[in-house]
Amino acid sequence: MTSATPPLPRRSPRARHVDLLSKGRGRERVQQILNGISAFGALLVVAELRIADHLADGPRKVTELARLCEADAGYLRQILRVASSLGLLRTTNQPDTYTLTAEGRSLRSDLDDSMLPATLMAATPFWMQAMCALPETVRRAEPALPQPTYEYLADNPDARALFDWFMHTRTAPVAQAIARLDFQQARKVVDVGGGHGVILAKILQTHPHLTGILLERPDVAESAAIYMAKLGLQDRCEVIAGDFLDSVPAGGDLYLMASVLHNWDDENAGRVLRNVRQAMDAERAGPAQAWCVDLLRPVVSVQVGAPPTAVLTTVRMLSLFRGGHERTRAEYETLLAANGLTVTQAERLPGDMHLMIAAVPPAEDASEMPQHRPAAAQSTGRPFPGGAS
């Protein structure tokens, strides 16, 4: 039997060569992406065995490190070689001896912005399961997980404690930058889904005239209250256990939502924003603001091969939270506008995070509370003028 397929046209040797090269490049790119798994394995060893802590005071021989970490020196040596080619460690002029690089130092457990908890969190069974289940998640249009992520964290206090440590270290540099902004016109800051309160605490410590309310899930509120008390802020900060999808406390003139909206689809993010908007309406002492802090997804497709964090975190969000994703600035503006808020100002924060300040649109605001609008807000459109100092 002869084949019905017509013979392929003959290609020049040069065209065939170009073809082969580009096929090779395609394979190489996929291999590079796959290599990320091995790189993550090596990073995990460095993190779990606290190599950065053991090298904090200076270089050590592999055998000494192995003894300190209760690990096998032969296995460890192989992994440290990989970790050093990843730029986390480097060898010294002493034989079989390693020291930390600046990148490796970021894994020390004692740093306020340590990358250790982020690494450990990524390796937890739930986070791993979420990533491996991503194809099914994409089919179902919801995380293919046994329970919603925040419920899982509520049922697993150790995982929740690690998550809170991770959020603390991720948010600490952002908290510093936010606390440097101008809060002179504000009196009460409401931190909606504030976690342990790392941002709110920094704001209150920096601006003694302010008081705060921290709204969190009941399983987190208790430890947030302990954190605030440890910093001596218990008299200036009320911690409320509640659900921001149901309501948000009234009485604030600045409503902060940091790394909150990207956990939710537009429908539920809209619910949170409407509750904030309603709480702002209830406040009649002055024009309140909503401060949204999140990564901003770049609009244009970025350079191939090294997408920035704000592109890749959508993968993490979708894997863990129904409809969670990073948004572009335009998408935030649309989302906020659909829920009665207009972005008046944006500030760049560390780590590709951004602050978008939103207020009730002027016409609506003017009709509702004209007599309380400060002169500065009328002239600049920025109700709390200022900016990063």
Number of residues near ligand SAM (by CB under 6 A): 19
Minimum CB distance to ligand SAM, residue 219 (Å): 8
Per annotation, catalytic residue among 54, 262, 325, 372: 262
**Catalytic annotation present for 168:** no
Closer of 193 and 340 to ligand SAM (Cβ): 193
The amino acid that residue 281 corresponds to is: D
Binding residues for ligand SAM restricted to 129-168, rule: CB under 6 A: 150, 167
Name which position in 198, 279, 318, 353 contacts ligand SAM (CB under 6 A).
Answer: 198
Name which position in 162, 260, 317, 355 contacts ligand SAM (CB under 6 A).
Answer: 260
User: Which residues are CB-neighbours of 308 under 8 A, at least 6 positions away?
Assistant: 298, 302, 352
Name which position in 60, 188, 217, 236 contacts ligand SAM (CB under 6 A).
Answer: 217
Closer of 160 and 188 to ligand SAM (Cβ): 160
Minimum CB distance to ligand SAM, residue 107 (Å): 20
User: Which residues are CB-neighbours of 310 under 8 A, at least 6 positions away?
Assistant: 295, 296, 297, 298, 326, 352
Which of the stretches 40-48, 57-65, 215-223, 313-321 binds ligand SAM when contact is defined by CB under 6 A? 215-223
Residue 194, interface with ligand SAM (CB under 6 A)? yes
Distance separating alpha carbons of residues 93 and 137, to the nearest angstrom: 50
Binning the chain into helix, strand and coil, the percentages to the nearest 5 are: 50, 15, 35
Which of the stretches 135-143, 191-199, 226-234, 379-387 binds ligand SAM when contact is defined by CB under 6 A? 191-199
Binding residues for ligand SAM restricted to 262-281, rule: CB under 6 A: 263
Closer of 183 and 244 to ligand SAM (Cβ): 244
User: Which residues are CB-neighbours of 235 under 8 A, at least 6 positions away?
Assistant: none
Name which position in 117, 143, 193, 340 contacts ligand SAM (CB under 6 A).
Answer: 193
| Sheet order of strands, 60-61 included | 60-61, 97-100, 89-91
User: What beta strand segments (E) does the chain contain?
Assistant: 60-61, 89-91, 97-100, 188-192, 211-216, 237-241, 254-258, 289-295, 342-348, 353-359
User: Which residues are CB-neighbours of 253 under 8 A, at least 6 positions away?
Assistant: 185, 186, 187, 188, 189, 283, 285, 286, 287, 288, 289
Residue 212, interface with ligand SAM (CB under 6 A)? no
Minimum CB distance to ligand SAM, residue 309 (Å): 14
Closer of 49 and 293 to ligand SAM (Cβ): 293
Closer of 66 and 319 to ligand SAM (Cβ): 319
Residue 258, interface with ligand SAM (CB under 6 A)? yes
Q: In this structure, what DSSP letter does residue 327 have? A: B
CB contact at 8 A, 213 and 252: yes
Name which position in 127, 152, 183, 244 contacts ligand SAM (CB under 6 A).
Answer: 244
Residue 216, interface with ligand SAM (CB under 6 A)? yes
Distance separating alpha carbons of residues 334 and 349, to the nearest angstrom: 21
Q: In this structure, what DSSP letter does residue 144 have? A: -
Burial 328-366 (b: 16+ CB within 10 A, else e): eeeebbebbeebbbbbbbbbebeebbbbbbbbbeeeebe
Closer of 108 and 217 to ligand SAM (Cβ): 217
Name which position in 259, 313, 344, 345 contacts ligand SAM (CB under 6 A).
Answer: 259
Neighbours of 10 (CB within 10 A): 7
Chain residues that interact with ligand SAM, rule: CB under 6 A:
150, 167, 171, 193-195, 198-199, 215-217, 220, 243-245, 258-260, 263
Q: Which residues are catalytic?
A: 262
